[in-house]
Structure 1
Amino acid sequence: MAAMVTQNQDPEQPEQRGQSEQGDGTTTVRLGALVPLTRPGWVEAGQHLLAGLQLALRDVNASGGIDGRPLELLVRDTAADPQKAAAAVKELDGLGVAAVVGEYHSVVARAAAAGADALGLPFLCSSAVLDALTDQPTEWVARIAPAQSHGWRIYAEFLLAAGHTRIAVAAQSSVYWASGTRILREHVARRGGSVVELDAGALTPTAVCDALVASGATALLLLVGHPEPAVPIVTAARRDPRLAGVLIGAPAGQPEFPEWAALLGDDGAAIPFLRYLPEHFGPLGARVESALREQLSVTPSFVAFEGYDTVTVLAEALRSCGTDRTRLADAWPRLAVEGTRGPIRFSRAPGINVWQWAWPPVQVVDRDPAQPDRFRVLRS
């Protein structure tokens, strides 16, 4: 049974929510998918997310679909725009999808989650980590990715263990970056350390280097977009002899993708980041890793695995509950699905208003200076 992916096309309004009858009389089960595929969205992350979603879709359909009905994906490009995402959720609701999946950018996923909650539309978020995905507890939203506070505390502990107690963050203005700064500051402060903020929106890369020297920090974290201004800041810092002993870090995962290595070369190595993969894959993860590598023609990122796991979980829910939205939302805490990175179950994590997989595996990783296309696991 072939995978069915529809991008920015409007199928006929279905007679029953979540289903659509094709020209050959086949009834499909439809999911909406939110993915950043154009700038200013992080296109490379979006491509990996979509690859994971599509591969899982093919696997589900090859194994019989949803009780014999093919699964169909209606893809909408969010372009990292919250308003565009909110409009897409409303459109997909009108098209009668059973649920919505995907999204990478946290502020975009937050807008999508708010819209899904208001409409009573199940939303399984793939990659966005912002703790406050919704303002109030909701039954309609669940998340595959770990909450930011969970992963970034692990990253802060990694820095502290390496002796970095005075840390500078070059941050742009955003709810996501502000949340990350707060998490780092609170965790480091408990151990007697401090965090210095540098305004990456106002300072040139050279000025960031000057401010970093004046701060006395031994680590600089990039809480900024990629490739701009992350790449120019790294280039400036690597070429500044005053910063030879300063660690550069990127907890949000910018160095994960091949574009980082292509743009920075050796300068992009030895920059630790968070990655949500296990130290070793089981049989399912190994098979999916091989298929994703062939599909993408590069090493698949953790985002691709998040996409695969998202559709796998939704397919299991659909097989158990059908396409009724209320039954799907009620099923979050009862699901137990074998994912590419371990068993997936949802619960109510403290301080998190959505159903959460607590927790996916978390690693601190960097690119090996001796071989920048190879990753080193620094903490697991």
Structure 2
Amino acid sequence: MTLPSRRPRSRSAYLGVFAASIVLTGCGGGLLSSGEEGGGSDEPIVLGMITPLSGSSAAIGPYMQNGAQLAIDEINADGGIDGRELELVVEDGACDPRTATAAANKLVTDGIDISIGGYCSGATLPTLPIFEKAGVPMIIPAANSTELVEQGLSNVFLINGTGTQQADAAVEYMTGQNATRVALVDDNTSYSTDIAERTAELLEEGSGPEVVLHESVTAGESDYSANVNAVVQSDPDFVYWTGYYQEGGLLVRQLRQAGYTGPIMVADGSVDQQLVEIAGPENAEGVFATMTQTPDTIPGAEDWIADYREKFDAEPGPYSTQSYDAVRVAAEAVREAGSTDTEDVIAALEGIDGLELFSGPLKFTEEHTLSSGGFLILSVQDGKFALEDALD
């Protein structure tokens, strides 16, 4: 089934005061309650997730899978959705377009009802037409290139801030830090270039910092000396890296080794402890990041973190909460729709108004993005990313 396209247009139950709204959101009962009416089926509602379980971003995959599974287990323990249990099917996307395409085709063959995956935007983009043709709604928890919504597909919803919103946060922070000469470095992927280009546009339109260099690296290499030399020679007083943590860690280390002592900021794809390990704690100390919330930056999430630790014997990391919320959003839509029918689920997603997520009350824009990007500024403090500042 091919869905009609839209015309492109130019804290959990543990969060204290939000607990009641999370359990009771929506008309006719709560997210986790079983309604008296349903589709008459006792078949499980199957959620599919494509996430990196191999490759340079493999550290993120378990965070996303575990976050989703935690939400599923909670919902199932409370009776499921209209008596139907949720089931998770996970495929490795490896942050690689070909691998992700194969994963999407397999999930369609497996008969998933809703997709709740997507980390690397470059690997998520080619899955869009596959899920659209199959009539699978997509609730994307992490991938956030603006290209994802520029396709104008009615089945695509983002619950992470977009590249445009991240660029806004970056420019606001640079300006507030009195930066005057900014070097932008990306890795030629959709996600990375989207943020870098939109940041450059905002800087060029404004009266604040000047873009003195926009450099692209080749992902997967180990020596970025040519790129580092170009950055140093441009004499910036602020460097913004918009790629992923593997290359980001190397770039930070090599910039410091080359004598650059000014501020370095990284985008959300680099917010992982491995960046600190690759760069070296001394080199990474003080590195800033534009990032949506991580578990340890969310007030009132202590019980959620404790449950995650108990269940998985591990610490929750980036995009675990967003993946948890993607399941909750999917469950809310199915409950409101009364079925897993594609058009009904999409209509229910568009009608969500106030469902309490970790990032705040959810209401999608006409473009199916968050009304507010929810980006924070983190920094590496004593070897770990921690909250630096908040942006509205």
TM-score grouping bracket, smaller chain normalisation: 0.7 to 0.9
Q: Distance in 1 between matches of 2:316 and 2:284?
A: 18
**What residue identity is the alignment partner of 1:319?**
R
1:216 match: 235
Contact 1:110 1:133 in 2 (8 A): yes
**What residue identity is the alignment partner of 1:222?**
W
Q: Distance in 2 between matches of 1:203 and 1:68?
A: 52
Identity %: 22
Contact 1:200 1:224 in 2 (8 A): no
The counterpart of 2:253, out of the listed 219, 235, 254, is 235
1:29 match: 45
The counterpart of 1:121, out of the listed 121, 136, 139, is 136
**What residue identity is the alignment partner of 1:327?**
D
After superposition, the CA RMSD in angstroms is: 2.5
Q: Distance in 2 between matches of 1:280 and 1:326?
A: 36
- Shift in CA distance, 178/253, structure 1 to aligned 2, threshold 3 Å: closer
1:92 to partner: Cα distance: 2.3
Q: Distance in 2 between matches of 1:69 and 1:358?
A: 31
Bigger mean CA offset, 287-296 vs 211-220: 287-296
2:102 match: 87
* 3-state secondary structure, aligned to 1:127: coil
- Shift in CA distance, 204/280, structure 1 to aligned 2, threshold 3 Å: closer
- Shift in CA distance, 204/197, structure 1 to aligned 2, threshold 3 Å: farther
Unaligned runs of at least 5 residues, structure 2: 1-38
1:44 to partner: Cα distance: 1.1
Query: What's the TM-score, normalizing by structure 2?
Result: 0.80
**What residue identity is the alignment partner of 1:328?**
V
The counterpart of 2:380, out of the listed 367, 370, 375, is 367
Q: Given the alignment of the two structures, is residue 99 of structure 1 paired with residue 114 of structure 2, yes or no?
A: yes
Once the two structures are superposed, what CA deviation does each residue of 1:71-112 show, in whole Å capped at 9, x if it has no partner? Answer: 111111111122332333233223322111111101122122
Q: Larger % of strand: which?
A: 1
1:334 match: 351
1:153 match: 168
Once the two structures are superposed, what CA deviation does each residue of 1:338-361 show, in whole Å capped at 9, x if it has no partner? Answer: 22232222121xxx4xx1222252
Query: What's the TM-score, normalizing by structure 1?
Result: 0.83
Contact 2:175 2:208 in 1 (8 A): no
| Count, aligned residues | 344
Contact 2:121 2:143 in 1 (8 A): yes
The counterpart of 1:358, out of the listed 361, 371, 383, is 371
Bigger mean CA offset, 147-156 vs 197-206: 197-206
2:216 match: 199
2:29 match: none
Contact 1:29 1:71 in 2 (8 A): yes
Q: Distance in 1 between matches of 2:254 and 2:333?
A: 49
2:365 match: 347
1:297 to partner: Cα distance: 5.1
Contact 2:93 2:100 in 1 (8 A): yes
